[in-house]
Amino acid sequence: MDFNKLSTFIKVAELGSITKAAHFLRRSQPAITQQVQLLEEELGLKLLERRKGKISLSSHGQEIYARTKNNLSSIKEEITKLKNDLTQITGHIKVGVLNDGSNEVDFGNLCGKFIQKYSEVRLTIIEGTSDSLESLLLENKIDFSFQINFNEPESFIRKPLHQSPHDLYTSKKYLQKHGPIQGFESLLELDLIDLSDQFLCLSTYIQKHSPNLKQRLMHRLPSIATSNLSMMKNIVESGFGVAILPEHLVTKKLKAGTMIKVFPDLEPLRTVIDIAHRTHKTLTLSEKMFLDHVTKSLKEKL
């Protein structure tokens, strides 16, 4: 039941007038009337009798009022006490975030809003790659990690937070030097840039769009391997190579025409950032509140 509607009805019953209740609650008379009518519909009971412009409680209204007027006050007091208790939650939470530019989530904003709500909790934010953050989780040196790739996924409880499109990009300068990229066969002859020597990104893209060429890809090494996607973008923008990059990193360059999507008709990769913690970790109250805060804040992004 909506406490607001019940609270409005109780005030009308106490004052014996919708006009007086509206004045007391600083709301319009139609708004008060609608609240009471909605409560009547919800309960399936008529609560007010209206005769010659005056209102009085029906028999059902009298019973509802008698049973709830004191209880509602107690419930409100308990809710207020609970809110006050929650603001006093204490603890120290260590959070790992990716430093490679792979996502557009403002983790600083998320953490700042959490601390504003729970001022007695202390946060430590540690930046790293997916591999380094996973190691810190396994060693219990951080409590949560925001990351994409997991080497031991069975060791963690993960909740998806945000989906980000990644696609294959190069620069206008590079195409002017090497000519147009006709297909995946010609792509494999070019300067490829990736997160690792094992083509962590490009192998997934090839598997999705041209799986018969994946083995051929794995028989070579990238021209440059870097774990930082922002750096990878800068390398491509300088006029060298081809790389899988998150869309948000290259949007402005695409509009300016300095960078180009290699295969514009193909579907991009959809990578999901998870928040993760150890499978057998018992979460403290502050950690539970942090996890709830993050998942609720980002659920609309998926």
Mean per-residue pLDDT pooled into runs of 10, the chain (302 residues): 80 90 89 90 88 84 83 69 68 90 78 90 91 93 91 92 92 94 94 93 94 95 92 95 94 95 94 91 91 83 46
Q: CATH code for 164-269?
A: 3.40.190.10
- Whether 41 and 33 have beta carbons less than 8 Å apart is answered as no
211, with CB counted inside 10 A (0-12, 13-18, 19+), is exposed
Distance from CA of residue 80 to its chain's centroid?
28
188, with CB counted inside 10 A (0-12, 13-18, 19+), is middle
Domain locations in the chain?
3-74, 91-162+272-301, 164-269
In sequence order, which residues have a C-beta less than 8 Å from that of residue 122 and are 6 or more positions away?
91, 92, 93
Which residue, 289, 200, 62, 57, is CA-closest to 192? 200
Give me the pLDDT at residue 302, please: 44
3-74: CATH, from 1.10.10.10, 3.30.70.260, 3.10.310.10, 2.40.30.10: 1.10.10.10
Which residue, 138, 139, 158, is CA-closest to 147? 158
Secondary-structure class of domain 91-162+272-301 per CATH: alpha beta
pTM of the entire structure? 0.63
Beta-ladder partners of 48: 57
Beta-ladder partners of 123: 93
- Whether 191 and 225 have beta carbons less than 8 Å apart is answered as no
3-74 and 91-162+272-301 in the same fold: no
Beta-ladder partners of 144: 95
CA distance 1 to 257: 56
247, with CB counted inside 10 A (0-12, 13-18, 19+), is middle
CA distance 85 to 291: 18
Helix (H, G, I), strand (E, B) or coil at 45: coil
- Whether 151 and 291 have beta carbons less than 8 Å apart is answered as no
